[in-house]
Amino acid sequence: MELSKLPLVLLLICNIYSGQTEETEGSGILQLSNEGPRAVLSVSPQKWLTEGDPVTLNCEVNSSSTGWTFSWFTVILSSVIICIFSLNTDLSDRYEQLSDSSRGAGGKYTVSSVALKHTGVYVCRAERGKPAYTKYSNTQPLWVTGVSPPVSLIISPSRTQHFTSDSLSLSCEDQSNSDGWTVRRYTESWGLTDCSSLHQGSQTGSTCTISSTSTLDTGVYWCQSESGEKYHPVNITVHSGVILESPVHPVTEGETLTLCCLYKHTSPSVLRADFYKDGSLVQNQTTEMIIPTVSKSHEGFYYCKPPERGESPKSWISVRGSHSYSQISVLHTLTSVLAACPYLLVTVVLIYKCCRMRGKTPE
């Protein structure tokens, strides 16, 4: 059996053992029929967010939209890990109900301003009557990037897309010390795992090393503290063909963004290609795409397409506001207020004098 298919076979066995026969989206697993209502979870506007952004999780039931009450959960373990190590068929052990789950009673769970703590993988479930529960929904991850996170995920080579069979290193670096941090990840095949559970992975201190990458390593990686706090999620894609060289960290407004198209089996590895943003061609037949001054409008999904080589996977380029821009804005506001103060003071004094003069006027 091919090693790349092993996680899918294990997941199928575990799902059958635990009584889950529902379809697993995007996994390529044999789809077994399962009658009855099913909860479907979606996210709006997107799963990649910056601290302070709004987000809404929408839970719907495919058979009917009336009379249902909803519960909301975060995924704490993958089904494969539970099946292999604990042989536990109680699916509630995989999920942790949100403390404010009742806030999403209408099928919509809304967070007006996300924080780093909202990073995680979510599912929902609906109930109508007792004990008429739907099965748990499909998973929907939310990844929240902090404005100034206390720890950084350092990736080597420093890019978000990587070739198969390459070595990859991920380290959590804190300004004070790197102790107590663990590299964790979420993938379609394995769910939530840490580095030491990977086939080619090992964890030394706060550094995760994958000696030989495969497409199964595609997923989101982040730094997690001993208390469970999650910081600096990064989407890593492993691909056997063309890849896009793009920055790991969000680009700051006003900086320069450079994108390249790479192919492992040519020398030099940089290819002449067309570059796309959100599906639209933005630059054609060039070895690198350069945006000299990045703004928020440049945020989006990018990929490259060289002639006769296929195309690279898509990478999300995040743009954060410049701190210097914020300082200029605050300074401008303070200057305006101070400039208006003399006029305001003169007006108050004139009004006061007018009132006193009226009070002294004989009747």
Give me the mean pLDDT over the 166-195 stretch: 83
Q: How far is CA 298 from the centre of its chain?
A: 18
Domain 149-240 has CATH 2.60.40.10: yes
Q: For 297-315, write each residue's pLDDT tens digit.
A: 999 999 999 998 899 999 9
Q: For 198-236, write each residue's pLDDT tens digit.
A: 778 888 888 999 999 999 999 999 998 888 888 889 999
On the question of pLDDT at 329 being above 50, the answer is: no
pTM of the model: 0.71
Which residues sit opposite 317 in a β-bridge? Answer: 300
Burial (CB < 10 A; 0-12, 13-18, 19+), residue 76, is middle
Domain boundaries, the chain: 3-145, 149-240, 242-321, 333-358
Amino acid at 38: R
CATH class of 242-321: mainly beta
- Determine what percent of the chain is predicted with pLDDT higher than 70: 71
Q: For 126-154, write each residue's pLDDT tens digit.
A: 988 766 788 889 999 998 887 777 788 99
> Distance (Å, rounded) from C-alpha 196 to C-alpha 303?
31
Q: Cα–Cα–Cα angle for 230, 103, 132, nearest 5°?
A: 105
Q: Tokens 């952004």 — which residue?
A: 53
Q: Tokens 């799963």 — which residue?
A: 47
Mean pLDDT over the full length of the chain: 78
Q: For 46-98, write each residue's pLDDT tens digit.
A: 898 888 899 999 999 876 667 888 999 998 865 444 444 444 434 444 788 99
Fold of 3-145: Immunoglobulin-like (2.60.40)
On the question of pLDDT at 189 being above 70, the answer is: yes
Q: For 261-274, write each residue's pLDDT tens digit.
A: 999 988 889 999 99
| Domains 3-145 and 149-240 agree in fold | yes
Phi, psi of 208 (to 5 degrees): -105, 130
